[in-house]
Amino acid sequence: MKAYELLFFVNPALEEDARTALSKRIDSAITSQGGTVDNIDEWGKRKLTYEINKLTDGDYTLIEFHAEPTNIAEIDRILRITDAIERFIIVRRKDCA
C-alpha cells in the first residue's frame, strides 16, 4: 500500500453533525477499499485566496491514509459526488514508501 494525503474543505456554516457524518463517510470510503486511515487533522476555518462558489472561507481537513493505487479512483469518485465537499485534492506522500 502507498501513503496518501487528502486535503478538502467544506462550507464553514456546515453543522457539526453534518461534518461528523462527512468524516465517517470518507473514512468508510477509504477503509471499504482496503485502506487504513493514519491521521485526521482538522485545520479549521481558513480564508480562501479567491472566492469559490460564493465562499470566502473554508473549513479544512487533512487526512493521511494508506491505500492501494487502484483504489484511489473509487475514493476520488465518492469525493466528487459528495455535495458538502467544495474542493479536494489527493496526493501521494513522498516521506513513505
Characterize 35-68 residue by residue with b for buried, 16 or more Cβ atoms within 10 angstroms of its Cβ, and e for exposed: bebeeeeeeeeeeeeeeeeebeebbbbebbbbbe
Long-range contacts, 38-43 (Cβ 8 Å, 24+): 38/3, 38/64, 38/65, 38/66, 39/63, 39/64, 40/64
pTM: 0.86
pLDDT score, position 97: 54
pLDDT score, position 61: 92
Segments of the chain scoring below 70 in pLDDT: 96-97
